[in-house]
Structure 1
Amino acid sequence: MPTKLHELPLEMVRNRPELVPELLRTVFHIDVPEESPATLTSESYADTNPAELRCDATVLLGEPDAPTLGVVVESQLRVKEAKSYSWPAYLASLRLRRKCPVLLLVICPDQATARGCAVPIDMGHPGWVLKPLTLSPEGVPPVADEATARRLPELAVLSAVAHQDGPCAETVLNSLAIALGALPEDTRQLYHEHVAPQLSEVARKLLEESMRKTGLPTLEDYANKYKAEGEAVGLAKGEAIGQAKGEATGVAKGEAKGEAKALLLMLGARGVPVSDGVRERISACKDLDQLERWILRAASVETAEELFD
């Protein structure tokens, strides 16, 4: 199952295809006209083998019916030898279908993975070597102005991860807050929850301060919201239990149920899958302190099982 770390860069490309030509210009210094529109297009090549040839995303520059450039975008969390065979096939298929030059852009979580994925692929024919363009956060330029942050919020997200502790950290994190404020609430929360675990404690506090100054909800606000919703349900049940078994016992059980409900709501809102076993363990917990710790962890975990680490 694809993880959030794999899917978020692709979600950014799908939400804003113009992020791709911006990265090509600023990171790889490829001459891509700024006026060229960017369009998200088919992400699979079913004409060959649908079980094997399915890339992550494809962006066309220029007119969709007569593009000037096609870009295959891949999100890669680790180096895989199999990609040295599938990536050339993606490019060849896209070039055949769209009759235009093509590029391969691979988005990686760190420099080591980017270096591994950048190894040239020798096709065997003399002079035919594919050199993937790989990107990790360290290669993203700092976004330090409000106009760019509003125009390309996704670039501001990538920039914040790369430059959170650098000389322009405060400006970059302020730009991120501005960028998040320019997004719809569901997308803002999605990006915020993605970037927060990748920030240092100092950077995270700077971001939260900027969010508060601009009147935007912080992760703590989201957690409190889910907790309050869960407690309201739990206390209502607790009152009913209290009538039969004593108010103190009923309210205590209601609080525990409220905390558990808040935790499950938060995981659900973040799109984290919850197995029956995890759900039962959370629901059965009566330790309020333990539930509080799990709620704090729920803001950043990739899987529900990580709560118990």
Structure 2
Amino acid sequence: MPSPRHDGVKDLVRESPQTVARLVCAKNAEAAIRPHVPLREASNELNDRPSRDFYPDNVFTQGSPSAPSSVLVVEIQHEKEEQKRRQIARYAAALWLFHRCAPVVAVVCPSQAAADFYDEPIGTELPGYRYPPVAIGPDDIPRVEDAGTVADDPALAALSVMAHGSSMSVLTAFLEGLSRLETDDSSKYYEYAYRLASQQVKQSLEAEMTSGTWPVYSPFAKTHYGHGREDGREEGRTAERAATVIDLLEARGLPVDDATRARITACNDIERLKAWSIAALTVDRAEDIFEA
């Protein structure tokens, strides 16, 4: 089951695919994507019959819906998995067969180690077919430290928080830039950034939100603070604690497979999740937390 951070990136990309297109073209000038041409969300159901259906995280097209000139696929990957790399090459082949144009597959990775892994051309069983994805990691996401840039491109600023949120200059600019947006937009992009951030950065965002430097009297701040800290819904507390457990494991470089991730996120016992978060600091394997 995808993590809250994974879903956060996926939703942010759906909101602003143009931001990823610009990052792709900044890294690979030969990519067959035009960064200023609108991208239209397309179906992410792919197949290579008679094999099986595939579902990349996001698929967008440019040009005519029936005969697109370009296709952009965005995948979010947190860990280095060879099986996932091979799947990316299949996405590209299936889209080429369906649309008859060369797709661009961008792999957005919160960690640079994962981005470096996915940035290499992917070999396949088909002789001569090696697919080169475009991996976007922290090194490829600029540090947005100017409030004006945040206001102009809040999606990029949210990705900057994901990649560089440990820098207070990034967080300060992000919050200041949000204050220049309409309430609905500022709330939306704060939530994106919060979902994408590590647990440590989430705590920093909350501290800034409730400090004297942030205008807590604004409708946006009241809405967020009331939603995040005062409503007290059990579902929200357990979801955040589950995300903490996963963040701690990933921060220590421990692989979290789908079964382990699903068991963590499905747990609604706050005390058990607390015990797992403590165990996550010392276990040798992610699944060992369940013995706590």
TM bracket (short chain):
0.5 to 0.7
Return 5+ residue gaps in structure 1 as ranges.
227-261, 283-289, 295-305
Q: Which residue of 2 aligns with 1:222?
A: 227
Return 5+ residue gaps in structure 2 as ranges.
243-264, 278-288
Q: Which residue of 2 aligns with 1:266?
A: 236
1:1-309 mapped onto 2 (5 Å cutoff):
1-30=1-30, 32-46=33-47, 48=49, 51-123=52-124, 128-146=129-147, 148-166=149-167, 168-169=169-170, 170-175=172-177, 178=180, 181=183, 183=185, 185=187, 188-189=190-191, 191-195=193-197, 197-199=199-201, 205-206=207-208, 209=211, 211-212=214-215, 215=218, 216-217=220-221, 220-226=225-231, 262-267=232-237, 275=267, 278=269
Please list the CA deviations of residues 145-166 of structure 1 after superposition, one character each: whole Å capped at 9, or x if unmatched. Answer: 5564345322111112333455
Please list the CA deviations of residues 274-299 of structure 1 after superposition, one character each: whole Å capped at 9, or x if unmatched. Answer: 646x17x69xxxxxxx9xxx9xxxxx
State the AA in 2 paired with 1:17.
Answer: P
Contact 1:84/1:121 (<8 A) preserved: yes
- After TM superposition, the score normalised by the length of structure 1 is 0.64
Question: What secondary structure sits across from 2:17 in the alignment?
Answer: coil
Instruction: Mark the CA change 1:189 to 1:39 in structure 2 (over 3 Å): closer, same or farther.
Output: same
Contact 2:151/2:180 (<8 A) preserved: yes
Deviation at 1:71, TM superposition (A): 1.5
Instruction: Mark the CA change 1:172 to 1:88 in structure 2 (over 3 Å): closer, same or farther.
Output: same
> What count of residue pairs does the alignment treat as equivalent?
249
1: distance between equivalents of 2:241 and 2:64?
35
Instruction: Mark the CA change 1:263 to 1:24 in structure 2 (over 3 Å): closer, same or farther.
Output: same
Instruction: Mark the CA change 1:91 to 1:224 in structure 2 (over 3 Å): closer, same or farther.
Output: closer
Instruction: Mark the CA change 1:171 to 1:275 in structure 2 (over 3 Å): closer, same or farther.
Output: closer
2: distance between equivalents of 1:100 and 1:41?
15
Please list the CA deviations of residues 203-257 of structure 1 after superposition, one character each: whole Å capped at 9, or x if unmatched. Answer: 764465564368232765434421xxxxxxxxxxxxxxxxxxxxxxxxxxxxxxx
Identity %: 22
State the AA in 1 paired with 2:176.
Answer: N
Question: What secondary structure sits across from 1:109 in the alignment?
Answer: coil
1: distance between equivalents of 2:200 and 2:67?
40
Contact 1:153/1:182 (<8 A) preserved: no
Please list the CA deviations of residues 125-181 of structure 1 after superposition, one character each: whole Å capped at 9, or x if unmatched. Answer: 665422221112332013345564345322111112333455953435533555695
Contact 2:8/2:196 (<8 A) preserved: yes
State the AA in 1 paired with 2:17.
Answer: P
2: distance between equivalents of 1:80 and 1:66?
33
Contact 1:76/1:106 (<8 A) preserved: yes
2: distance between equivalents of 1:196 and 1:110?
11
